[in-house]
Amino acid sequence: MTTLSKPIKKHSPVAQSAMSFYQQQAETLMASESDAALVAFRQQASEHFAEQGFPTRRDEDWKYTPLNGFLQTHYQRSGVAQISEADIKAFLPPFDVMHLVFVDGYFSERFSDDLSELPAGLSIESVKDALDFKQGYTAFLSHEMGIEKEAFGTLNSMLFDDGVVIQLEPHCLVERPILCTYVQTQNEHANTVRNRVTLAHGAQLSLLQQHVSLNNKLNAFDNVVTEINVAEKAQLNQVVLQSLNPSAMYFGLQFVDQAKNSVFRTHYISLGSSISRHQNVLRMAEEHIESEQSSACFASGQQIMDTRTHTEHQAWWGTSRQLHKLVLDDEAVGVFNGMIKVARAAQKTDGQMDNKNLLLSDKAKVDSKPQLEIYADDVKCSHGSASGQISEEQIFYLRARGINAEDARRLVTQAFLLEPLESITSTPVRHWLADKLMHKLNA
């Protein structure tokens, strides 16, 4: 057995205990694997994790997102629990999708659609199959340096054992959206998933991903890393819906590479979890690229919701749009951190980033940090952030038309929260997400 590495940084006893636990989990996983290269890959990640450790509030990027609640529970990899078809059916949207189901972090052939007759040009396989038979672990190395800058990315490299690999061949269009449902069924369970999505030249795809819990009593942990490559003239529309129960934990990290004349749109909707953090790292490497990153988050109780983007314009005529909205009630905490970075070569860049936050309680808090870093001299870029409570003038206007105060506040909040969804081109998808937001708003 390999000797566990010792941390270089000084950590609290609680953090050290959690680090040792997850390193031991990695040791157990490595002991079960026959691929020496994969074992070496995990070992390297484990050693890096020992040096890196979990972030603390002394780290600037984690200043407003405390991990105390996460570190006190040791989330295990304990296999798959029993679940029924009726349980899965409850999570299906009211429109036709190609459904892939992951139970406790593992692909479920039983609950997923039949993948033997996919549309022409589309291939889908679980990461477990990809690791075993075709691509090997090297398929997951292209963003590894970026992934391992993040502690939960490193943890993912140590422990991921399944996920999905989606590939679409040149000029193929898949009309039916692919829906990946990640369902938590076990308490104190770690669901560690690694995904890869590759669209070839001129391909088009819609990808929906939802994170859900089987019931409201589970305290489980989703740790997801997704790598996306959008080739020249390809188009990917993505939605990530995080509606785990209020005790769960969610950490999502995405790396996206775009080529010339490609389009990438992503919408993140956050409703659940005790602590959630969703981060996009987007690289617009060639000319005439379009991207959109938007989010709608509604936190209540003592939830902490953290949304982050890092967008790099690296070539001419790139266009990026971002609209991020947080609604915070009770004692909830919201965090937004966004960066648009424009390289010297990225002339004629058009980048906009807007963050707006609505506080429904005097005890709710938000910390926002939109940033621009521009090295080109012929660009059009803007960023902004605004936080506040509902305007009494708006309430007065609605009450003057016979609407009571409670309904007036709900209507204003609803209009505020639904705006990021307006750019979703699929009407059924937009209505599905709006219903999810409205359900929590009216609860």
Amino acid identity for residue 355 in this structure:
N
- Distance, in Å, from the CA atom of 171 to the CA atom of 203, rounded to the nearest integer, reads 5
Contacts of 79 (CB under 8 A, 6+ apart): 104
Residue 301 CB contacts under 8 Å (≥ 6 apart), including other chains? 246, 329, 330, 331, 332
Asked whether residue 249 carries a pLDDT value surpassing 50, the answer given is yes
> Which of 53-57, 73-77, 124-128, 193-197 is the least confident region?
124-128
> 193 falls in which pLDDT band (50, 70, 90)?
very high
The residue type at 345: A
Segment 189-213 shows an average pLDDT of 96
Cβ 11 vs Cβ 19: under 8 Å: yes
Contact between 313 and 342 (Cβ < 8 Å) = yes
At 8, the pLDDT band (50, 70, 90 cuts) reads low
- Output the pLDDT for position 141: 65
Query: Can you give the pLDDT at residue 10?
Result: 78
Where does the pLDDT of residue 2 fall: very low under 50, low under 70, confident under 90, or very high at 90 and above? very low
Long-range contact list for 30-34, CB < 8 A, 24+ apart? 30/2, 31/1
Task: Report residue 3's pLDDT band, with 50, 70 and 90 as the boundaries.
Answer: very low
- Mean pLDDT, the chain, rounded, equals 92
pLDDT value at 402 more than 80: yes
If you average pLDDT over residues 311-332, what whole number do you get?
98
DSSP of 368-387? EEEEEEE--SS-EEEEEEEE
Q: Which burial class, exposed, middle or buried, applies to 86 when counting CB atoms under 10 A from its CB (0-12, 13-18, 19+)?
A: exposed
Q: How far is CA 325 from CA 88, 150, 153, 393, 395, in A?
A: 30, 24, 25, 21, 20
Least confident residue range of 144-153, 283-292, 298-307, 340-349: 144-153
Report the percent of the chain where pLDDT is more than 70: 95
Which SS3 state, helix, strand or coil, does residue 281 take? Answer: strand
Place of tokens 């943890």: 155
Rounded mean pLDDT of 116-143?
76
> Whole-model pTM?
0.94
The two three-digit tokens of residue 164, written as one number: 């999905």
* pLDDT reading at 296 higher than 60: yes
Supply the pLDDT for residue 250.
Answer: 97
Q: 5 or 387: whose pLDDT is higher? A: 387
**Kind and range of the H or E run holding 431:** helix 427-441
- Residue-wise pLDDT tens digits, 330-385: 999 999 999 999 999 999 999 999 999 999 999 999 999 999 999 999 999 999 99
pLDDT of residue 226: 96
Report which DSSP code applies to 132: I
Tokens linked to 146: 């970026």
Q: With a cut of 70, say whether residue 269 has pLDDT above it.
A: yes
Element (H, E) at 18: helix 13-31
Residue 244 has pLDDT above 70, yes or no: yes
pLDDT at 126 (0 to 100):
85
pLDDT band at 128 (very low <50, low <70, confident <90, very high): confident
Compute the average pLDDT of residues 378-406. Answer: 94
- Which residues have CB under 8 Å from 245's CB, separation 6+? 184, 213, 215, 216, 217, 218, 272, 273
What was the pLDDT predicted at 37? 81
To which H or E segment does residue 23 belong?
helix 13-31
* pLDDT confidence of residue 216: 82
pLDDT above 90: percentage of residues in the chain: 83
Most confident of the ranges 73-82, 144-153, 267-276: 267-276
- Please report which confidence band the pLDDT of residue 140 belongs to, taking 50, 70 and 90 as the band edges: low
> 141: Cβ–Cβ under 8 A, 6 or more apart, which residues?
41
298-310 burial by CB neighbour count: b if 16+ within 10 A, else e?
A: bbbeebbbbbbbb
> 441 is written with which tokens?
């708003």
What band does 16 get if pLDDT is binned at 50, 70 and 90?
Answer: very high
**Residue owning tokens 């081109």:** 425
